Chain A
Amino acid sequence: MPDSPNPRDAVIVGGNRIPFGKAGGAYAAASNQAMLTAALDGLVARFGLAGQQVGEVAAGAVLKHARDFNLTRETVLGSALAPTTPAYDLQQACGTGLETVIQVANKIQLGQLDSGIAGGVDSASDAPIAVGEGLRKALLKANHARTPMQRAKALAGIRPGDLAPESPRNAEPRTGLSMGEHQARTTKEWGITREAQDELAAASHHHLAQAWDSGFFDDLATGFLRLSRDQGLRPDTSVDKLATLQPVFGKGEGATMTAGNSTPLSDGAALVLLSSREWAQERNLPALARFVDAEVAAVDYVSGDEGLLMAPAYAVPRLLARQGLTLQDFDYYELHEAFASTVLATLKAWESKEFCRDRLGLDAPLGSIESSKLNVHGSSLAAGHPFAATGGRIVATLAKLLHEKGAGSRGLVSICAAGGQGVVAILEGC
Chain B
Amino acid sequence: MADLMQILTSNPIARQLGVPQPTNLRRGRELPSGPVVLATAGGASALAREAVELLGLTPQDALVDTPQTRVTQTDDDGRTREVPTPYPSTIGAVVLDATALTTIEDLEGVRGALRPALKALEPSGRVVVLGVEPETAGAPTAVAAQQALEGIVRSVGKELRKGATANLVRVDLLTDAPTTAADLASTMSFLLEGRSAYVSGQVLHVGHGAAAHAAEVSSRPFEGQVVVVTGAGRGIGASIAETFARDGALVVAVDVPAGGEGLAAVANRIGGQALQLDITAPDAGERIAAHVAQRFGEAARIHTVVHNAGITRDKLLVNTDEERWGSVLEVNLAAQTRINAVLLDPALPGGLDDGGSIVGVASTSGIAGNRGQANYAASKAGVIGLVRAMAADPALAARGITVNAVAPGFIETEMTGKMPMATREVARRINSLQQGGRPVDVAEAIGYLAAPASGAVSGQVLRVCGQSQIGA
Q: Does A51 contact B (CB under 8 A)?
A: yes
Known contacts A215-B278, A215-B281, A221-B257; is-contact A46 B273 (Cβ 8 Å):
yes
Are B268 and A223 touching (Cβ within 8 A)?
no
> CA separation between A413 and B295, bound complex, in Å?
28
Q: How far is the CB of B266 from chain A (nearest CB, A)?
A: 8
Q: Which of A37-45, A118-126, A315-323 is the interface stretch?
A: A37-45
Q: How far is the CB of B259 from chain A (nearest CB, A)?
A: 7
Q: How far is the CB of A37 from chain B (nearest CB, A)?
A: 10
Number of chain B residues whose Cβ lies closer than 8 Å to a Cβ of chain A = 26
Number of chain A residues whose Cβ lies closer than 8 Å to a Cβ of chain B = 24
Q: CB < 8 Å: which of B260, B267, B295 contacts A50?
A: B267
Within 8 A of A (CB), among B250-277: 253, 257-261, 263-265, 267-277
Q: How far is the CB of B8 from chain A (nearest CB, A)?
A: 35
Are A50 and B269 touching (Cβ within 8 A)?
yes
Q: How far is the CB of A164 from chain B (nearest CB, A)?
A: 38
A50: which B residues are within 8 A, CB to CB?
267-272
Most buried by A among B263, B265, B267: B267
Q: Does B471 contact A (CB under 8 A)?
A: no
A176: which B residues are within 8 A, CB to CB?
none
Q: Does B34 contact A (CB under 8 A)?
A: no
> CA separation between A228 and B258, bound complex, in Å?
5
Across the two chains, which residue of chain B brings its CB closest to A50? Answer: B268
B259: which A residues are within 8 A, CB to CB?
223
> CA separation between A42 and B255, bound complex, in Å?
13
Are B273 and A228 touching (Cβ within 8 A)?
no
Q: CB < 8 Å: which of B274, B278, B296 contacts A45?
A: B274
Across the two chains, which residue of chain A brings its CB closest to B233? Answer: A223
Known contacts A48-B271, A228-B258; is-contact A42 B264 (Cβ 8 Å):
yes
B66: which A residues are within 8 A, CB to CB?
none
| Contact flags A198-234 to B (C-beta < 8 A → 1, else 0) | 0000000000000000010111011111001000000
A219: which B residues are within 8 A, CB to CB?
275-276
Q: Does A265 contact B (CB under 8 A)?
A: no
Q: Does B24 contact A (CB under 8 A)?
A: no
Are A217 and B257 touching (Cβ within 8 A)?
yes
Q: Does B297 contact A (CB under 8 A)?
A: yes
Q: Does B69 contact A (CB under 8 A)?
A: no
Q: CB < 8 Å: which of A38, A41, A48, A80 contacts B273?
A: A48
Interface contacts (Cβ under 8 Å), in number, total 75
Q: Does A47 contact B (CB under 8 A)?
A: yes
Within 8 A of B (CB), among A6-58: 38, 41-42, 44-48, 50-51
Q: Does A347 contact B (CB under 8 A)?
A: no
> CA separation between A285 and B295, bound complex, in Å?
6
Are A41 and B268 touching (Cβ within 8 A)?
yes
Q: Does A83 contact B (CB under 8 A)?
A: no
Q: Does A372 contact B (CB under 8 A)?
A: no
Q: Does B294 contact A (CB under 8 A)?
A: yes
Are A284 and B296 touching (Cβ within 8 A)?
yes
Most buried by A among B261, B264, B265: B264
Q: CB < 8 Å: which of B264, B272, B273, B277 contacts A218?
A: B277
> CA separation between A50 and B296, bound complex, in Å?
16
Q: Does A286 contact B (CB under 8 A)?
A: yes
Across the two chains, which residue of chain A brings its CB closest to B291? Answer: A219
Across the two chains, which residue of chain B brings its CB closest to A222? Answer: B260
A286: which B residues are within 8 A, CB to CB?
294
B294: which A residues are within 8 A, CB to CB?
284, 286
B257: which A residues are within 8 A, CB to CB?
215, 217-218, 221-223, 228
> CA separation between A285 and B273, bound complex, in Å?
12
Are A47 and B273 touching (Cβ within 8 A)?
yes
> CA separation between A224 and B269, bound complex, in Å?
17
Q: CB < 8 Å: which of B258, B281, B295 contacts A48?
A: B295
Are A44 and B268 touching (Cβ within 8 A)?
yes
Most buried by A among B268, B278, B281: B268
Are B263 and A45 touching (Cβ within 8 A)?
yes
B295: which A residues are within 8 A, CB to CB?
48, 284-285
Are A46 and B281 touching (Cβ within 8 A)?
no
Are B296 and A42 touching (Cβ within 8 A)?
no
Are A222 and B273 touching (Cβ within 8 A)?
no
> CA separation between A46 and B268, bound complex, in Å?
9
> CA separation between A219 and B91, bound complex, in Å?
53
Besides the contacts A38-B264, A41-B268, A219-B276, what 18 more A-B pairs have beta carbons closer than 8 Å? Answer: A45-B253, A45-B267, A45-B272, A46-B264, A48-B272, A50-B268, A80-B268, A80-B269, A217-B257, A218-B277, A218-B278, A222-B257, A222-B260, A222-B276, A223-B257, A223-B258, A224-B260, A225-B261
Q: 3 tightest A-B contacts by CB? A: A80-B268, A222-B260, A45-B264
Interface residues in chain B, defined as those with a beta carbon under 8 Å from any beta carbon in chain A: 253, 257-261, 263-265, 267-278, 281, 294-297
Q: Could you list 28 examples of A-B contacts with CB < 8 Å?
A: A38-B264, A42-B260, A44-B264, A45-B267, A45-B268, A45-B272, A45-B273, A46-B273, A48-B267, A48-B271, A48-B272, A48-B273, A48-B295, A50-B267, A50-B268, A51-B271, A215-B278, A218-B277, A218-B278, A222-B257, A222-B260, A222-B261, A222-B274, A223-B257, A223-B260, A228-B258, A228-B260, A284-B294
